[in-house]
Amino acid sequence: MSNKYLHFVFISLFAILFSNCATTLYDQGRNSLSEGDYNKAVELLKQEVSANPQNYEAWRDLGIAEFKNNNLKDAETNLLKAYDLKKDDGETTLNIGLLYEKLEDYDKALSFYKNYTSISGGSADIIEGRMNLISRKKVEKEIKLALQNEDKLKLEPIPDNTIAVLYFQNIGGNKEYDALQKGLTEMLITDLSKVKSLKVVERVKLQKLMDEIKLSSSEQFDKSTAPRFGKLMKANKLVNGTFLNLSGDQFQVNAGFTSTSDGVFQPVKNVSGDINKYFKLQKELVFNIIDEMGIKISDEEREAIQVIPTESYLAFVAYSKGLDLEDRGLYGEAAEQFSQAFNIDPSFNQAQFKSDESKSCEKGKNDVSTINNSNNTFSTTTSDRLMQSTANLTGEVVTGKDDRNPNASAGFGRSVKVQFEIIIPK
C-alpha cells in the first residue's frame, strides 16, 4: 500500500471526524426537528440546553418539538424560557401564539400574535385572519361557558344600560327581504353603540349563541326564550321586531324591547316608507328606540347616528348577504359579496373593510407555523385594520364609534346625514 494512498485515507478520516465534531448538539436537534423526528429532537435539544442554558434557539426548538409531540405543558415551559431569553425572536413568539391557541387560551394567543406582528412583520393577511378567527372562537368559548353556568347567571345582576339587538324577522310575503335580517341588526348595533350611556352586545355573540343552542332566527322571539337570551348575553334589554313589505316598494319595520328581568315587551313606534330610502327608515327606528328608552343624547351623538354608510339599497343587500356567509365560515364567498357591495357604491367603506377582513380570515385558516419571517412585510395600514377588526370581537360589548372618520372606526366614511324630526305622541 503506497504512502500516497495512506495519506489520502488519513485525510478522509480526519475530515469525517472533524465534520462530526463541528455538528453541534443543537444542529443535530434542529435537523431532527426539521425531519419530523421529534423524539430524537427532544433528546438532543435537552442535552444542548443542559450544556448551554443561554441558547434561546435550543429552548425554542425544544418547545416546538414538544409541541409537535403534543406535550403541551413542556412545550409551554420551554417556549417561555426561550421568550425570556430573547423577546424579539419572531419564531418563538409565533409558536407561543400557536400553543395558546391549541390550549384555547385565546387572550394569550391574541397577545402573542400581536407581539409577533410588531417584532417580525409576519405574513400580514394570514396573521390578521388568524386573529379574527381566534376572536370568534373566544366568543364561542364564552357562550359555551355561559350555557354551562346558566343557573349561576340567573343570580348575577345585569347593568341597566346593557342591551342586545336580536335578529328582526321577515313576516312579509317577499322572501327576498330575508337578506336584510343580519344587516339591519348590524346597523342598529353600530348606531346604538354611538350612545355613550349604552353598552351594546356584539352581533357575533348573538350568532354564536344561536348556533350553540341551535335556534333559528324566528325562534328567538318566543317570550320564554327572550329573557334567557338576555341572561346569557348579559343584556338588560333585548331589541327585537319584525319587518315586511307592503304594497310596491313600501317597507315597514315594527320593533320594541324586551326586559330580561320579567320578559315584558315594550313596543316602539313603527317606521314605514320607500325601501329605497332604507337607511332613513333605519335611522328613524334608532331614534324611536332611544326615545322610548328615555335616553337623552347629545347633539354630537345625534349627529354621529345620522351619518349613513351607503345610499344604495342594492349595496346594502349584498353587504347583508356577506354577513350571513361570514357567520357560516364561508369567508371567500363573503368577501365576494362585500366586494360587490363596494363596487355598487364605492363610498361604502365598511363593505371594503369587511371584504378585506373576510379575505384575511380565509387565509388565516391556513397553517401559519410555516411563515418565513424574513420575507414578509406588515404595513401600518394593515396593523390598524387588524386592531380594529379584532376590537369588536374580543369584548363583552361594542364600544362607541364615530363613523365620520374612517381611520378611527370600522370604515364608514360618508358625510351624508339624514335630517328629520322625530315626534312621538304622548
pLDDT tens column, 403-413:
433 333 333 33
Given a cut of 90, whether residue 415 has pLDDT beyond it is no
Q: Are 312 and 344 in contact (CB under 8 A)?
A: yes
CATH 3.30.460.80 assigned to domain 3-146? The reply is no
Grid coordinates of 135: 376572536
Given a cut of 90, whether residue 287 has pLDDT beyond it is yes
- Alpha-carbon separation of residue 105 from 81, 97, 245, 410 (angstroms): 19, 9, 46, 26
- Alpha-carbon separation of residue 155 from 125, 132, 145, 232 (angstroms): 43, 32, 16, 12
Mutual angle of helices 180-192 and 203-213, in 10-degree steps: 130
Domain ranges of the chain: 3-146, 158-379
Given a cut of 70, whether residue 7 has pLDDT beyond it is no
Model confidence pLDDT, tens digit, residues 107-164: 999 999 999 988 876 566 788 889 999 999 999 999 898 888 888 777 678 888 999 9
CATH fold, domain 158-379, is Rossmann fold (3.40.50)
Q: Tell me how far the alpha carbon of residue 392 is from its chain's centroid.
A: 7
Summary mean pLDDT of the chain: 81
Give the Cα-Cα-Cα angle 41, 42, 45 (nearest 5 degrees).
80
Per-residue pLDDT averaged across 182-195, rounded?
A: 94
* Euclidean distance between CA atoms 122 and 116, whole angstroms: 7
Per-residue model confidence (pLDDT) at position 218: 53
Per-residue pLDDT averaged across 269-285, rounded?
A: 91
* Euclidean distance between CA atoms 213 and 355, whole angstroms: 29
Predicted confidence band at 384 (pLDDT cuts at 50, 70, 90)?
A: very low
C-alpha radius of gyration, the chain, whole number: 28
Q: How many CB atoms lie within 10 A of CB 151?
A: 7
What is the β-pairing status of strands 265-274 and 250-259? Answer: antiparallel
Q: Are 110 and 116 in contact (CB under 8 A)?
A: no
Per-residue pLDDT averaged across 266-285, rounded?
A: 91
Given a cut of 80, whether residue 334 has pLDDT beyond it is yes
